[in-house]
Amino acid sequence: MQMFEVAPDDGPSLALHGGAGGRTEELTLEGRAEYSDGLLAAYRAGWRVLAAGGSALDAVCASVEALENDPLFNAGRGAALTATGQAELDASVMTGGGQAGAVAASKHAKNPVLLARAVMEDTEHALIVDPDAAFLDRHGFQPVERGYFITATRQQQLERVLDGRVAAARHGTVGAVARDARGRVAAATSTGGMVGQADGRVGDSPIVGAGVYARDDVVAISGTGHGEAFIRGVVAYDIAARIRYANADLPTAVRETIETELGQRGSTGGVIAVGGDGRIVVAHNSAAMFSARGTGPNPAITT
């Protein structure tokens, strides 16, 4: 397992991930620089919010929105495609105050993370599956054509997976966690799921407690990896519970959860977490994990 930490700071903290598991051949493009640039741009989008005194929720949404707009990452435009060649997108947000919203199998929202936030703030629900164009319109979003999400790179990747030339990617997800100047935390996660997955399959990203969780003065978490294992192990909540009830520190809670709920299931993935004190932990048991983390405008980046 690899783990990176950033020490607590009196000011804001921000971390984001662009998926665990390492780059597949289809998505290497021109190398690591594009991934680093995309992570840096997304980090700075969130950091601008925090530096201006904005909320952790606004910051994580800004970072994830930037990653959804970047076709390198498996969320929004450029998301992984189902076995029938379509994009079905999942996203969630959660505040440390206990509010949460999510969408699953979204087909029309340009930025699913923003629609998930609308579910949280503008409806009485926590999760909407397959929100239609009318739902978007009612909440002030302009639907996009389904072809918007599909890129030639992802189509080629799907062909190779269906032909058996490469294994299906299981680790494509983006997410962000933040602690703002007031000490509030929030988390957001977004994904296109697994390459070649069955239509209608939903992973952990929109499931509160699995792929996302936040509680003020405790932790905010976003995960990426084998979604079924994250759901079965309730990974995000398990980390929070170890801190809250067993008095584990953040690095210990993350390590023990990954070892128990992923490693013992023979699954891989990773998490980003920010504690109530601003400490950041990024950890994964997969071959690699894209991440950016820091307590200032210049983050540490791993690709």
pLDDT at site 168:
63
Main-chain phi, psi angles of 30, to 5 degrees:
-100, 15
Spatial CA neighbour of 222 closest among 275, 258, 270, 289 = 270
**Which 3-state string (H, E, C) describes 110-152?**
CCHHHHHHHHHHHCCCCEEECCCHHHHHHCCCCCCCHHHHCCH
**Which 3-state string (H, E, C) describes 221-255?**
EEEEECHHHHHHHCHHHHHHHHHHHHCCCHHHHHH
The one catalytic residue among 95, 173, 189, 257: 173
pLDDT at site 171:
60
The verdict on whether 173 is a catalytic residue reads yes
Q: Measured between alpha carbons, how far is 268 from 138 in angstroms, rounded to an integer?
A: 39
The average pLDDT across 52-80 equals 97
Percent of the chain with pLDDT over 70: 95
Q: What is the DSSP secondary structure assignment for residue 265, as one 8-state letter?
A: G
Domains and CATH numbers, the chain: 2-302 (3.60.20.30)
CA distances from 107 to 68, 83, 133, 221, 225 (A): 14, 15, 9, 25, 22
pLDDT digits (tens, 9 = 90+) for 108-163: 999 999 999 999 999 999 999 999 999 999 999 999 999 999 999 999 999 999 99
Q: Which tokens sit at 216?
A: 């003020």
The average pLDDT across 206-235 equals 97
Q: How many degrees, rounded to 5, is the angle at CA 295 between CA 290 and CA 299?
A: 35
Average pLDDT, the chain: 94
pLDDT at site 27:
45
pLDDT at site 169:
62
Crossing angle for the helix pair 235-246 and 250-257, to the nearest 10 degrees: 140
pLDDT at site 29:
45
pLDDT digits (tens, 9 = 90+) for 152-198: 999 999 999 999 877 666 568 999 999 999 999 999 999 999 999 99
The radius of gyration of the chain's CA atoms, rounded to the nearest angstrom, is: 17
Spatial CA neighbour of 283 closest among 169, 266, 291, 175 = 291
